Chains A and B, each alone.
Chain A
Amino acid sequence: MVVPPVRHLLRAKDLADGRYFEPLTVADLAHAAGLSPAHFSREFRRAFGEPPHQYLLTRRLERAAALLRNTDRPVTEICIAVGLSSLGSFTSSFGRVYGTTPLSYRSSFPPARRHIRVPNCIAQAYGRRENRTFGEAKPEAAPYRLRGTKEDDS
């Protein structure tokens, strides 16, 4: 059986998931997939339902949300730690996708309940939120809660 070409696009997605903290660009992702940037963006969108720059941004925001929940590191430091360089656009993107500021997102989680005890790949896959435009309805600030595991009861 011939390997479906989408396997190469998965290399780009893996690069975003694994190296989001580096100054990655869509051109880097395209290179990982072995495609020209324009062709790559089209194919990535067709395969995964969203353009690569948006996937990379929402991955970085998901990681930032995890650091806000799991650590007490300052927002500026978190912004840089997830590969974003502008605090202004980080705050703005975060607000658009999470419906609140990074600090109020953090304070909405009581310290003992911040961490979700599942392998990180699961947290990354399920915790990433869809990108939103400013026109859309505001997302809920903290739609999930932890329940049902032995660890969480402790």
Chain B
Amino acid sequence: MIRIANAQFWVHDLDEALSFYTRTVGWEVQSDVTVDEWSFRWLVVGPPGQPDVGLVLMPVPGPPMLDAESSAQLAELVAKGAGGTLFLETDDCRAAYDELAARGVVFNDPPTEQPYGIDTSFRDPSGNNIRLTQVLEFSMERGR
């Protein structure tokens, strides 16, 4: 059996991202290991109650891993929102929205009814997109 263990986002500033995902969003640090020799930090965060799936935060690398031009391009693409999306689920989208908004998350849209449920979205400080969906039984009557 194959399972998804971690997914990864590029971020501009690891400390800023760590603060956002833990203090603002309220997630836990699942793993935080620094390899001094490589100047590398393996940092994995995730929501409380789901220890077996995590989000790996990695700073956009520079030379020698990635040449300076590509590094700048990658940083810019992430800032443009082209870095990808993390799809989250919740049992109560409006409650989660209120809770996160109170902690300082700036949402892109209010909880909105869709045929597949209720959802909303926000970005991390680098521009990575995070979608938060409460899945409901599919109904074309919802969200009219």
Please list the residues of chain A having a beta carbon within 8 angstroms of any beta carbon in chain B: 1-7, 9-10, 13-15, 17-19, 47-48, 70-71, 73, 115, 117, 119-121, 151
Inter-subunit contact B114/A10 (CB<8 Å): no
Interface size on B, residues (CB 8 A): 32
B76 touches A3 (CB 8 A): no
On whether A14 and B108 interact (CB within 8 A), knowing A2-B12, A70-B115, the answer reads yes
Instruction: Judge whether B114 and A120 touch: CB under 8 Å.
Output: yes
Query: B41 on the interface (CB 8 Å rule)?
Result: no
Q: Could you tell me if B87 and A3 are in contact, using CB atoms closer than 8 angstroms? A: no
B residues in contact (CB < 8 Å) with A: 12-13, 59-60, 72, 75-76, 79-81, 85, 87, 107-109, 112, 114-116, 119, 121, 123, 125-127, 129, 131, 133, 138, 140, 143-144
CA distance A1 to B114 in the complex (A): 38
Q: Which of A2, A10, A17, A121 contacts B127 (CB 8 A)?
A: A10
Q: Which residue of A lies closest to B59 (CB)?
A: A1
Report yes or no: A19 in contact with B80, Cβ–Cβ below 8 A: no
With CB as the reference atom, state the residue of chain A lying closest to B144: A71
- Which of B13, B119, B127, B144 lies in contact with A1, CB distance below 8 A? B13
Note all chain B residues with C-beta closer than 8 A to A3. Answer: 12-13, 79, 125-126
Q: Which residues of B contact A15 (CB under 8 A)?
A: 108
B114 contact set on A, CB distance < 8 A: 120
Contacts of B72 in A (CB 8 A): 4
Cross-interface CB contact of B12 among A1, A9, A19, A48, cutoff 8 Å: A1
B144 touches A10 (CB 8 A): no
Nearest 6 pairs of A and B residues by beta carbon:
A18-B109, A18-B108, A7-B79, A4-B79, A14-B108, A4-B76
Contact check, A120 vs B125: say whether CB atoms are below 8 A apart.
Answer: no
